[in-house]
A and B are shown apart, each in its own frame.
Chain A
């Protein structure tokens, strides 16, 4: 984070007001940098126009990898590397491989997906959060608008748009 940008920050008290404000502000052609909320607000990403996350597909791929690895491992170990005669049963008995294959699928899907989630959001031990206002983890909904991305509007215009959209406090500028 070498180069800092200047943002206009608006604080909202209510999630419904926030959603209406987002629709209004985006309708005017202003690009919203990001909105920070204390809890997941339903369809907030849709109103902001964020693309749908592809984590579901990633999870499926990780899960399929897990199944393949587990079946390959069991078949090769019991079937070829060291075939054991256990009560005259088949060396490669696929019904017996179901539990371990299932568990490996779940394990790989869960760990792979969570790792993808952490990496794609830049989260990890010791990472510093980009906080516009600390109250966004408590009870306020915080909207940030980057000045450089909205050169079509003057600072005063942006401030007026934000003020008229239902903020609960006077918008302030912040460099992050």
Chain B
């Protein structure tokens, strides 16, 4: 009986997403309500078959040609001397992204010299978030003194290929010949609020491992931040 209760609770929590998207017009809640039943079935189907999109560790990451805040187009292939890239999908409007700006600058300064520059990409649709417009990107980059390219994913073509879902969302790439292989996906670290209270410095550890030719211990972490809006 307790299991049933637990299952019901979980199903209801999941259901709310569906209810919120507009099926909230049924009358009184009864266990026999066919709409609820079918919604629960839908939820279970979704849970059994999660949709997989974007890159896995070891995949070849696509190159791109995206406009930087200085109006120039940037591609990964332009970086002859790079050993890899710290690609970070980030934006202006998200408080998590803002909280990480100084840390992203520090990562770029630390690792650019060692062959792993930061490439920041704003994946958001400025119509959904005017703060993330190309003009506002230029303003923010200047205010903060970004040391790295801050590219605009015009038409939102690149982020879905990578499988970025959040800002900030990191994809650490390593050059192998002409390919860029995905080595780490996820968060920058585990504390957006306080850089001095980090318990796990995921990205820095991963880049350091790559540079030293060591195995990356945590290749995937959960990116915490704001959902990318199309």
* A and B interact: no
Q: Which residues of B contact A (CB under 8 A)?
A: none
Residues of A within 8 A of B (CB): none
